[in-house]
Each structure stands twice: as C-alpha cells, then as structure tokens.
C-alpha cells in the first residue's frame, strides 16, 4: 500500500479541513512557544517552519509518513546500491561522491570508493597545475579563463555553486558557463576572451549531447582558427566516459575525467562535473563542499523523523500541495550569490518529481511536485511579491538567508536581514481593515481618503513560509544546503511513490527535435507533421 492510500493520508485530509479555517496569527497568539516547537537546527542550519499552517497534531500525523512510505527501507536500498531508478536499471549513489568514511559503498558487489577517490585526486592534480601556472596554453601563456560547456546537470549545478561561492574564488581565474544551443550564448562569452589564455571543459557523459557538442565544435573552431590544430590538446579537457569520442575530438584521454551511470545529471555537481567549480574556488574548498554534503547525508540517514531536516521539508511540500491546494512554491534566497539557486532547484525538484506515473505505472493519485519559481531578495520584492501578498493565491514561500554576509559592505547585510524577516512576518500576519484604518488615522489621513483607500490597504496574510538560516555562505554550508534539498527530493519520491531519477519528458523533446532538424535544414519534406509545426517551419524557410 502506498502512502497516498494509507489511513494516515485520510487523517491528514481531516486536519487540512480544520487548517483552512485557522489563521496563522491566531496560531501564534495561542502558542507563545510556537517558534521553539516548529523549528529544527542541525550543523548550524536553522529551519524555522513555525509560519506554516500546521498544528502539532497535523505535524505528528505527517511524520507518520516516515513509516507509511517506508523511508527506512528506501534509505537502506539507496545506500546498498540497489537499482532504485528502476526504469533505467540504475543505482542512485551520488552520496558516494562525498563519502568521507572508510565504509565501502557497493555497486554490483564492488566498492566504488577507490574510483571516486582516484578521480578526486586527478582533479586535485589538475587544479593545482592550472592554478600554479604549470599547466599553460599552447603559446606558453597562463590560463586565466575557463569555459565550461555542458547543459542541464552538467551546467546548472556547478554554475550555481560557482556564483554562490564567488567570495572564495581563486583571484586570477574566471570561470564561465555556456549551455544554450543559441549561438548568442557562446559568441557573447567568447567575445571578451583570448584563445591563448582560455581553457574549455567539455562536460558530457556520452560526448554526444547535441547542445554540448555543437557548442564544443564551435569553440574548437574558434580556437583552431587562432592557434592551429595542435593547440586543442592544451586548451580542451573533457568530463566524459566516452574516451573514443574524446580522442576523436582531439583531447588527450589522460585529460578526460570520469563519472558513472549511477550519478544522475542533476545530482552530479559532486563528481568531476564539479571540475569548473574546483577550478574557481580551489580543490581544498571543493573538498569542504563535499564534507558539508556528507554531514547532511549522515544527518538524513540517521536522524529521527521528528528531528530530520530533509524529511521535514518534504512534509511541508506534501501538506501544502496535497492538502491545502498550493500549486506552486516560491524560492526566495536573500543572497545575490544564491541568485541561481531557484533555477537549480527547479531542475532538481521538477525534473525529479514532476511526474504522474507511480512506480507501479499507475497514476500517483495526488498532485506531486509543485511549480517552483523565485528570485533573489530584495529584487523580487519589486516584482512579484505584490501577487503573493494580495493576489488571492496560496503560495508557500521558502526564505533562505545567511546570518553573516559573504561580501560584508557596511550597512548592507543588516538591511537585507530586516527585509527578509519582515516579508515572512507580513505574509504570516497580514493587515486587517481595523489595523489599516488605525494606521492612516495616526498619519492624519482625512476620513474620505481613508474610506477610499481602505480596501487596497488590507492584506489577508495567512501565507505559509519557511525560513532557512545559514551561519554563512561558505563551501561547507553550501554543500549542506544542496544535499538537504537532494534528500528532500528523494523523500518526496518515496511518499508519492515516484521514480525521482529518470526524466522521460526531457528525452521525448529531444527525439522530436532530432526528427525536425533535417526538415528545418531543408533536406526532407514536412510530410506527416501537424499543420502548426509544418506552418512554423515553412514560415522560417520562407524568411
């Protein structure tokens, strides 16, 4: 029996009916200790979910899903290297990439850790050589710019982390990311670079990904036109397991960094896919990033359900999406350095759990992944917060902020914290008509003006939010944060009975693109296409 079909699920429906009639300000008024009862702390991370529309009874019932969804059993299967990605027959072992202990981690009966450590050592040697100037370009110049060419998990994870840890970067190394098939992405990136001082990292497990290999070919042509064919070996490295294709491209196989089919793309930043991140921040910081993630792994695997941060975050999604009817969730990092985090979480969560088919092949029986969107604060306050405050939709919000600034300019961080905490309070409390009237009367606003403005000054409140407070944004705590959300995704997959590790919706679009390409190139006719697709192609060809 799945969690959705369980008695616990039915009990939660009753709790939700009562929750819809309660206001968060009343819950806080009734319980002065609400923050203490509805917050968790581990490893320096503080998770405050007291502003969620939850009672203690509803939370306790939600925690019963730990057993109903058999989280202990699924965690054991994950750690044992079983093929829990059942549609592709693959294990899910990205936690092995940051494993710190001596315990072996098995895949098909073999310990994967010697391979993992060998690649980490290869990355360490390469980073040290490039940073010290030992690795130089074909003309003897030191490498100053690194361009990572990948897409999806081979781009967004390391790109997000590189920006997040900008305060820790190696000063003379600039790392750039190119992913979009649109030539504007590569062209604008290369426009300010010198071929003599640029290194390309081509990140593609198969070395056949269409977007990546088209960008790689164009980058290769740019380099060869400037420096000649022989320069490719000093200006290109690969993150791939397809050594024949790597060699045909002109890259020395010794400069190919491996990863494995038990590493899913959106969970791969811990692997050699993280090479551009390591080149940006140094291998010592990259290893601290791994240590932080490993600490979160240990917490998730060992903590009791009522103290478990990833499990609790997952329960909040279940409660809001499946019982209160929220269709989306706003991700709101109050950190410019974490500007890309909402996009990263979009891929991590919606590509993993944006599915209707359960593991059995039948319908999951409930809404699954909410639509995730967001923007860094305080910019978002001047864009879409108006809708959250007064638009009439239930939109749970995740605020994320660090207690210390990573770029401590005087006077900035205190204001940032004040705005972050104020938005959570405003969404929770709202403002009644009486409060709005009293506020205007205190400002000596004329009665006629008060009567006219009063409807616009009322805020319903009762918008649920969670605040995740980090001590500081450094490699260790960023590792913790990303692993926290990875385990949340896994937990939700268990509760909703989904395979969180395949992405057939992505594959389908690629199939159609490959079918349409020869038509757009004018090599085949539009026979068999729907009238819209055929008409669009015809209009392009006419132009």
Residues belonging to the active site: 351, 382, 510
Angle at 235 between CA 231 and CA 240, to 5 degrees: 120
Angle at 120 between CA 114 and CA 126, to 5 degrees: 135
Count the neighbouring beta carbons within 10 Å of the beta carbon of residue 392.
7
For β-strands 397-402 and 328-333, DSSP reports them as parallel
C-beta contacts of 22-28 below 8 A and 24+ residues apart:
22/53, 22/55, 23/461, 23/462, 24/51, 24/53, 24/428, 24/429, 24/461, 24/462, 24/464, 25/428, 25/429, 25/430, 25/461, 25/462, 27/53, 27/55, 28/428
Q: How far apart are the first and last CA of the chain?
A: 57
DSSP state of 347: I
> Which of 505-520 are b and which e, b meaning 16 or more Cβ less than 10 Å from the residue's Cβ?
eeeeeeeeeeebeebe
Nearest-CA neighbor of 169 among 60, 284, 67? 284
Instruction: Tell me how far apart the alpha carbons of residues 230 and 212 are, in angstroms, rounded to a whole number.
Output: 22
- From the centroid of its chain, how far is CA 311? 17
Instruction: Tell me how far apart the alpha carbons of residues 273 and 123 are, in angstroms, rounded to a whole number.
Output: 10
257 neighbors 239 (Cβ within 8 angstroms) = yes
For β-strands 45-48 and 39-42, DSSP reports them as antiparallel
Count the neighbouring beta carbons within 10 Å of the beta carbon of residue 1.
8
Report cis status (omega within 30 of 0) of the bond before 378: yes
H-type alpha helices, 303-368:
309-318, 341-345, 351-353
| Residues 6+ positions from 246 with CB-CB distance below 8 Å | 207, 238, 240, 253, 256
255 neighbors 222 (Cβ within 8 angstroms) = no
89 neighbors 501 (Cβ within 8 angstroms) = no
Instruction: Tell me how far apart the alpha carbons of residues 282 and 235 are, in angstroms, rounded to a whole number.
Output: 19
Count the neighbouring beta carbons within 10 Å of the beta carbon of residue 400.
24
Give the residues across from 332 on adjacent strands: 399
* Residue 210, phi then psi, degrees to nearest 5: -55, -50
Instruction: Tell me how far apart the alpha carbons of residues 206 and 444 are, in angstroms, rounded to a whole number.
Output: 70
180 neighbors 171 (Cβ within 8 angstroms) = no
């Amino acid at each position: 029996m799945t969690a959705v079909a369980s008695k616990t699920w039915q009990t939660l429906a009753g709790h939700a009916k009562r929750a819809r009639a309660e206001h968060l300000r009343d819950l806080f008024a009734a319980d002065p200790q609400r923050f203490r009862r509805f917050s968790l702390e581990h490893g320096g991370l503080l998770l405050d979910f007291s502003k969620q529309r939850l009672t203690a009874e509803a939370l306790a019932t939600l925690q019963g899903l730990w057993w109903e969804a058999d989280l202990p059993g699924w965690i054991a299967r994950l750690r044992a290297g079983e093929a829990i990605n059942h549609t592709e027959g693959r294990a899910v072992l990205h936690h092995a990439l940051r494993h710190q202990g001596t315990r072996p981690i098995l895949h098909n009966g073999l310990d994967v850790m010697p391979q993992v450590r060998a690649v980490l050592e290869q990355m360490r040697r390469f980073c040290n050589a490039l940073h010290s100037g030992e690795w130089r370009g074909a003309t003897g110049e030191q490498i100053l710019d690194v361009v990572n060419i990948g897409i999806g998990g081979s781009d967004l994870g390391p790109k997000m982390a590189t920006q997040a840890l900008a305060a820790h970067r190696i000063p003379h190394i600039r790392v750039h990311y190119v992913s979009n098939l649109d030539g504007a992405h590569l062209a604008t990136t290369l426009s300010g670079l010198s071929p003599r001082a640029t290194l390309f990292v081509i990140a593609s497990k198969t070395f056949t990904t269409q977007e990546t290999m088209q960008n790689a070919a164009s980058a290769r042509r740019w380099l060869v036109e400037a420096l000649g064919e022989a320069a490719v070996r000093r200006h290109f490295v690969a993150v791939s397991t397809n050594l024949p294709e790597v060699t045909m491209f002109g890259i020395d196989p010794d400069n190919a960094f491996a990863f494995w089919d038990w590493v899913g793309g959106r969970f791969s930043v811990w692997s050699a896919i993280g090479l551009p991140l390591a080149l940006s921040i140094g291998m010592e910081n990259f290893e601290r990033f791994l240590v932080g993630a490993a600490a979160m792994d240990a917490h998730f695997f060992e903590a009791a359900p009522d103290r478990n941060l990833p499990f609790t975050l997952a329960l909040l999604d279940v409660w809001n999406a499946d019982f209160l009817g929220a269709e989306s969730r706003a991700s709101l990092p109050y950190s410019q350095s974490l500007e890309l985090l909402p996009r990263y979480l979009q891929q991590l969560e919606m590509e993993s759990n944006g599915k209707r088919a359960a593991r059995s092949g039948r319908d999951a029986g409930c809404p699954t992944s909410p639509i995730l969107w967001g923007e860094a604060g305080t910019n978002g306050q001047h864009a879409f917060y108006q809708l959250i405050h007064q638009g009439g939709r239930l939109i749970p919000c995740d605020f994320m902020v660090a207690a210390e600034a990573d770029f401590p300019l005087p006077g900035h961080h205190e204001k940032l914290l004040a705005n972050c905490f104020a938005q959570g309070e405003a969404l929770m409390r709202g403002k009644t008509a009486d409060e709005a009237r009293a506020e205007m009367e205190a400002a000596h606003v004329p009665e006629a003006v008060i009567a006219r403005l009063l409807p616009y000054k009322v805020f319903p409140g009762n918008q649920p939010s969670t605040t995740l407070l980090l001590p500081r944004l450094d490699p260790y705590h960023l590792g913790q944060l990303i692993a926290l959300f990875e385990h949340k995704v896994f937990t939700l997959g268990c509760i909703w009975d989904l395979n969180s590790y395949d992405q057939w919706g992505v594959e389908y679009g690629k199939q159609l693109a490959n079918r349409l390409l020869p038509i757009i190139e004018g090599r085949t006719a539009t026979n068999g296409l729907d009238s819209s697709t055929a008409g669009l192609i015809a209009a392009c060809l006419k132009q």
